[in-house]
């Protein structure tokens, strides 16, 4: 029996150019973004310019984390304690956590078999909130044209959680550019890696001025480059609290060379994804999400569905794969494990019954696709998964 012996959490090293730039910052001692000498533009301000250019956004702000980016975006959009905020039932814990941190209340929307937000359920719930925190969970992008038409008609402000879609697009428009605000993470397991970190883009000058002030700019906002002009800050600077969450020059220095490589990395991820997809297509009992033509994805992870399998069969399958070195995350497990948890585990946020999401998550299997895996590794993983699904199927038949 074949076994896989790679590590699902091993990232590639920081590019040498990033290491060099980080050493430069450390030698200067000027790690704080506003600690610049006259005429100098710090690494954080440069990163913001770079990312604004890549996404085509007018403005960009770098912050301490993806979670901080989402909280700041919601604050800037006026979310107050007690306010309902629409969001995906299938997402990662920092998304409802960001809503809860404002004292606001998540209103969960069902997921589809393609692992995106269910737009029919969203339409049914549209009257209940003024803000949607849309999570492109695991890089799956819904029909953004339909979503925006729906939200525009209902007067809903859309904030995009692009933690898994940096570099991705819908219909040629970069992910994060449909909503009023796009939020990204530069945490180690995302598409560019500074340990922790976040980026925010927006074309709205008032929202961006508020977010810059919220992030802890003091009265130094004129040192930003990808920012609205100082007069936009005039009416806001004394009434906007400083809720410290800046990025520092060291992280920005590590990130800038990675941004330049993002497109090539996306192709490498997608090549791995395709090997997995090809290896698993047509396996009875295993469902793959349909990826629409308009979706320009960056597949840094892989998901499939074991819909309507008995819970014990899924558990046994996950265990057998683990014994062969393939580490899977199961969204149907009764208890949260590692990074994986489910809406009904988030006890601080009461949820309504979500029958469709329950059925899908019960069979949803997820795995990372780090670039330290070769395409041959992915072919081997797919063979192991295929064999173990087929073994479960024949076990079921024998029992019938
Ligand atoms: C990682 C993640 C976040 C938050 O990013 P951090 O930088 O870790 O705070 C938000 N949403 C999703 C879907 C994520 O996976």
pLDDT at 399: 75
Ligand 1 closest atom vs CA 65:
7
Average pLDDT in the 111-126 region? 98
User: What DSSP state is assigned to residue 193?
Assistant: -
Percentage of residues in the chain with pLDDT exceeding 90?
A: 98
The three-class DSSP label of residue 236 is coil
pLDDT at 191: 97
Give, in order, the Cα–Cα distances in Å from 312 to each of 104, 192, 309, 331, 359. 37, 37, 8, 14, 15
Q: How far is the CA of 68 from the centre of ligand 1 (A)?
A: 9
Ligand 1 closest atom vs CA 197:
7
Classify residue 194 by burial, with Cβ atoms within 10 Å: 0-12, 13-18, 19+: buried
Q: How far apart are CA 30 and CA 4, in angstroms?
A: 45
Out of 187, 196, 329, mutate this one to test ligand 1's pocket (max ligand atoms within 8 Å of CB): namely 187
Q: What is the pLDDT of residues 17-62, one digit of tens each?
A: 999 999 999 999 999 999 999 999 999 999 999 999 999 999 999 9
Beta bridge partners of 132: 86, 158
pLDDT at 162: 98
pLDDT at 293: 97
Q: How far is the CA of 310 from the centre of ligand 1 (A)?
A: 31
Q: How far is the CA of 161 from the centre of ligand 1 (A)?
A: 8
Q: What is the DSSP string of 231-291?
A: HHHHTTTTTS-----B--HHHHHHHHHHHHHHHHHHHHHHHHHHHHHHHHTT-TT-B----
CB burial readout 86-106, b (16+ within 10 A) else e: bbbbbbbbbbbbbbbebebbb
User: Shortest CA distance to 109 belongs to which of 136, 91, 87, 76?
Assistant: 87
Q: What is the pLDDT of residues 317-352, one digit of tens each?
A: 999 999 999 999 999 999 999 999 999 999 999 989
User: Shortest CA distance to 58 belongs to which of 174, 208, 169, 160?
Assistant: 208
Tokens of 176: 């994060």
Edge-to-edge strand list for the sheet holding 329-330: 301-305, 364-368, 329-330
Q: What is the pLDDT of residues 61-92, one digit of tens each?
A: 999 999 999 999 999 999 999 999 999 999 99
Q: Tokens 């150019």 map to which residue?
A: 17
pLDDT at 400 over 90: no
Q: How far apart are CA 61 and CA 182, in angstroms?
A: 10
Q: How far is the CA of 301 from the centre of ligand 1 (A)?
A: 14
Q: How far is the CA of 67 from the centre of ligand 1 (A)?
A: 6
Q: How far apart are CA 75 and CA 240, in angstroms?
A: 10
The residues lining ligand 1, judged by C-beta closer than 6 Å to any ligand atom, are 65-67, 91-92, 94-95, 135, 137, 161, 163-164, 185, 187, 198
Percentage of residues in the chain with pLDDT exceeding 70?
A: 100
HSE, side-chain direction, 13 A CA sphere, residue 176: 34
pTM given for the model: 0.97
Average pLDDT in the 341-365 region? 96
pLDDT at 204: 98
User: Shortest CA distance to 141 belongs to which of 121, 120, 112?
Assistant: 112
The model's confidence at residue 270, banded by pLDDT at 50, 70 and 90, is: very high
pLDDT at 397 over 80: no
User: Shortest CA distance to 280 belongs to which of 244, 326, 312, 234?
Assistant: 326
How many C-beta atoms surround the C-beta of residue 43 within 10 A? 27
Residue nearest to atom 11 of ligand 1 (CA): 163
User: Shortest CA distance to 182 belongs to which of 92, 73, 89, 80?
Assistant: 73
Mean of per-residue pLDDT scores for the chain: 97
Q: What is the pLDDT of residues 86-111, one digit of tens each?
A: 999 999 999 999 999 999 999 999 99
Average pLDDT in the 124-153 region? 98
pLDDT at 261 over 90: yes
Domains of the chain plus CATH, in order, are: 16-260 (3.40.640.10), 262-399 (3.90.1150.10)
Q: 66-76 and 94-101 helices cross at what angle (nearest 10)?
A: 40
Q: How far apart are CA 280 and CA 211, in angstroms?
A: 44
State the pairing for strand pair 169-170/173-174. Answer: antiparallel
The three-class DSSP label of residue 295 is strand
């Amino acid at each position: 029996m074949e076994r896989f012996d790679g590590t699902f959490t091993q990232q590639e090293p920081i590019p040498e150019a990033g290491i060099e730039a980080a050493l430069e910052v450390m030698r200067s001692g000027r790690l704080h973004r506003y600690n610049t000498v006259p005429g100098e533009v710090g690494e954080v301000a440069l990163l913001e310019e770079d990312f604004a250019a890549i996404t085509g956004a007018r403005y960009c702000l770098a912050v301490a984390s993806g979670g901080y980016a989402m909280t700041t975006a919601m604050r800037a959009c006026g979310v107050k304690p007690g306010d309902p905020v629409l969001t995906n039932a299938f997402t990662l814990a920092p998304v409802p956590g960001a809503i809860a941190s404002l004292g606001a209340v998540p209103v969960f929307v069902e997921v589809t078999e393609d692992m995106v937000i269910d737009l029919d359920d969203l339409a049914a719930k549209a009257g209940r909130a003024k803000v949607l925190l849309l999570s492109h969970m695991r890089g799956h992008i819904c029909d953004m044209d339909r979503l925006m038409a729906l939200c525009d008609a209902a007067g809903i402000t859309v904030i995009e959680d692009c933690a898994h879609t940096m570099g991705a697009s819908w219909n040629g428009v970069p992910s994060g550019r449909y909503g009023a605000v796009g939020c990204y993470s530069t945490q180690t397991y995302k598409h560019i890696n500074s340990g922790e970190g976040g980026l925010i883009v927006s074309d709205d000058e008032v929202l961006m001025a508020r977010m810059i002030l919220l992030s802890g700019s003091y009265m130094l906002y004129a040192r930003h480059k990808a920012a609205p002009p100082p007069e936009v800050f005039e009416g806001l600077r004394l009434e906007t609290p400083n809720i410290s969450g800046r990025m520092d020059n060291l992280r920005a220095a590590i990130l800038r060379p990675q941004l330049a490589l993002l497109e090539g990395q996306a192709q490498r991820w997608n090549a791995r994804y395709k090997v997995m997809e090809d290896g698993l297509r047509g396996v009875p009992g295993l469902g793959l999400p349909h990826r629409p033509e308009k979706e320009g994805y960056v597949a840094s992870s892989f998901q499939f569905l074991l819909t309507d399998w008995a819970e014990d069969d899924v558990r046994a399958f996950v265990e057998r794969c683990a014994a062969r070195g393939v580490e899977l995350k199961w969204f149907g497990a009764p208890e949260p494990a590692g990074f994986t948890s489910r809406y009904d585990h988030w006890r601080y946020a009461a949820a309504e019954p979500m029958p469709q999401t329950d059925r899908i998550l019960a069979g949803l299997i997820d795995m990372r696709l780090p670039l330290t895996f070769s395409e041959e590794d992915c072919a081997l993983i797919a063979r192991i998964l295929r064999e173990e699904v087929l073994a479960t199927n024949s076990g079921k038949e024998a029992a019938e």
